[in-house]
DNA sequence: ACCAAAAGATGTCCTTCATCATCTTTTGAA
DNA sequence: TTCAAAAGATGATGAAGGACATCTTTTGGT
């Protein structure tokens, strides 16, 4: 089997990563196979050796965030999922609802960058999106205090605040209002942990 | 000036309403001028008598919700913006974060149906989106109790919970988790009014 | 060195639209 | 009744892009 072993996997990973960045910035429809392959340092033709369709790539791109850039992101933010303390939950809030995260179009969480895009895709893509949510909820739930039901409810609400606050802040044009929304969501989510 | 007076306006309104439904359900890219005009009971060609481009139509469609279907929606939900009481704020939460609203793809609030779509559009379209948010925040702010700063902060957080909860619930495929998210966002938003 | 299968590159097909030019219909005003 | 301007319908154009058939390159195994 010619080509160094693991070559295909490496290429595939490069394609997924390029796709993730491009989809995040421009959405599903505006990104072409051409753009993705060029960004990955390859050419159009080879694409279908790795993926059955553009849609399958989209699912892979969303999914990739969890263990890829997302893990990197958590590391940078000082969020360590093996250390489940209330401080860690707060750390997560600090980073997720930060002005910095809002500005990082290419590397921000896909839950923020492409919700309505994903909502109209196949169940597989939506499942990938759900996996991101599940991970976030789990993290908040595990770092809460109080009864199981309370922790669950708060974790879900905190996730809704994270995504809702950032989605709104990212969409509206008035940067002052945008900042206000982000800050208010952060405040409310932080308050939830201390109730 | 031939054609009954007000004919053009009526046609334009029909086009916008058809567009609003279609965009809500399928997003900007997947909707064609053809589809919109057919839905409005007209044909492709006449479109550019009314709008300069598809994008301008999109902005008009988003904007139209506030005074059009949105007003109708508020009336049905018993939300009366001339009666600014805490009960009215709660009424708004009840309806916005309801399972019914979640299922109404065509008539649901565009803030839920197309955030990431709008985020990549022109400032005009994003302004229309912001107008919806501003109206919602105003409504919550006006029906809160407490200091101005507190009311403002809570109103923004409640809006983030409304949009975030519904966006997540609409996007994930697991209907059980979806329902859980919706309910948690509702609970948290309701709690905010009583703090 | 040689072969072949995997991976990548090139060229092309075919469909889908947004947009516009042009033609037809409608009806208020003269 | 006639005219003309507004509104609507029809047909055409041109570009974009997903998908794929077909070459070409690469290199591990022999």
Judged by CB atoms closer than 8 Å, whether chains meet at B26 and A120 is answered as yes
Calculate what percentage of chain B has a pLDDT beyond 70: 98
Average predicted confidence (pLDDT) for chain B: 95
Judged by CB atoms closer than 8 Å, whether chains meet at A133 and B167 is answered as no
Average pLDDT over residues A89-96: 97
For chain A, give the number of residues.
195
Same domain, A106 and A153: yes
Judged by CB atoms closer than 8 Å, whether chains meet at A171 and B115 is answered as yes
Same domain, A85 and A44: no
- Strand D bases with any atom < 7 A from protein Cβ: 4-12, 16-22, 26-29
Would residue B30 count as lying in a domain?
Answer: yes
Domain boundary among A25, A46, A63: A63
Domain boundary among A63, A78, A97: A63
Same domain, A78 and A136: yes
Helices B148-171 + B175-193 axis angle, to 10:
170
**CA distances in angstroms from B179 to A160, B61, B157, B171, listed in the order given:** 13, 28, 20, 12
Would residue B76 count as lying in a domain?
Answer: no
Would residue A2 count as lying in a domain?
Answer: no
Give the Cα separation of A16 and A22 in Å (integer): 10
CATH, residue A38: 1.10.10.60
Same domain, A159 and A101: yes
Minimum-distance CB partner of B119 among A127, A161, A170: A170
| Helical ranges in A29-109 per DSSP H | 33-39, 47-50, 54-67, 69-76, 86-96, 99-103
Would residue A159 count as lying in a domain?
Answer: yes
Average pLDDT over residues A37-45: 95
Annotate B26-50 with b (16+ C-beta within 10 A) or e (fewer). bbbeebebeebbebbebeeeebeeb
Per-residue confidence (pLDDT) for residue B1, from 0 to 100: 62
Same domain, B59 and B104: no
Would residue A185 count as lying in a domain?
Answer: yes
Nucleotide nearest to B9 (CA to C1'): D7
Closest to A69 measured CA to CA, from A126, A141, A18, A30: A18
Domain boundary among A30, A63, A96: A63
- Contact, A37 vs A43, CB < 8 A? yes
- Contact, A170 vs B119, CB < 8 A? yes
CATH, residue B123: 1.10.357.10
- Contact, B92 vs A92, CB < 8 A? no
Helices B175-193 + B86-96 axis angle, to 10:
170
Domain count, chain B: 2
Same domain, A51 and A129: no
- Contact, B33 vs B11, CB < 8 A? no
- Contact, B81 vs B92, CB < 8 A? no
CB neighbour list of residue B81: distance below 8 Å, 6 or more residues apart: B74, B88, B139
Stated in angstroms, how far is A34 CA from C5 C1'? 26
Per-residue confidence (pLDDT) for residue B5, from 0 to 100: 72
pLDDT (tens digit per residue) in B102-148: 999 999 999 999 999 999 999 999 999 999 999 999 999 999 999 99
Stated in angstroms, how far is B91 CA from D19 C1'? 51
Stated in angstroms, how far is B40 CA from C19 C1'? 19
For residues A83 and B24, which has the higher predicted lDDT (pLDDT)? B24
Average pLDDT over residues A149-174: 98
Domain span at residue B29 reads 7-66
Would residue A98 count as lying in a domain?
Answer: yes
Give the Cα separation of A112 and B27 in Å (integer): 17
Strand D proximity list, CB < 7 Å: A 1-5, 30-34, 44-45, 48, 53-55; B 1-3, 7-8, 11, 37, 42-46, 49-50
For residues A103 and B6, which has the higher predicted lDDT (pLDDT)? A103
* Cβ neighbours, 10 Å, residue B9: 10
Judged by CB atoms closer than 8 Å, whether chains meet at B165 and A162 is answered as no
Per-residue confidence (pLDDT) for residue A50, from 0 to 100: 96
CB neighbour list of residue B65: distance below 8 Å, 6 or more residues apart: B20, B109, B110, B132
Would residue B170 count as lying in a domain?
Answer: yes
């Amino acid at each position: 089997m010619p080509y160094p072993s693991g070559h295909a996997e490496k290429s595939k990973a490069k394609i997924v990563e390029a796709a993730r960045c491009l989809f995040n910035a421009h959405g599903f429809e505006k990104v072409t196979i051409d753009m993705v392959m060029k960004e990955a340092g390859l050419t159009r033709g080879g694409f279908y050796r790795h993926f059955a369709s553009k849609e399958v790539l989209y699912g892979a791109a969303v999914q990739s965030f969890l263990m890829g850039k997302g893990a990197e992101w958590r590391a940078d933010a000082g969020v360590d999922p093996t250390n489940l303390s209330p401080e860690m939950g707060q750390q997560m809030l600090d980073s997720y609802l930060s002005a910095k995260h809002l500005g990082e179009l290419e590397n921000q969480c896909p839950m923020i960058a492409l919700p309505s895009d994903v909502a109209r895709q196949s169940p597989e893509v939506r499942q990938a999106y759900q996996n991101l949510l599940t991970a976030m909820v789990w993290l908040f739930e595990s770092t809460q205090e109080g009864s199981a039901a309370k922790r669950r409810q708060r974790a879900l609400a905190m996730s809704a605040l994270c995504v809702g606050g950032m989605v709104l802040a990212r969409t509206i044009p008035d940067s002052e209002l945008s900042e206000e929304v982000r800050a208010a969501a952060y405040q409310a989510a932080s308050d939830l942990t201390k109730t």
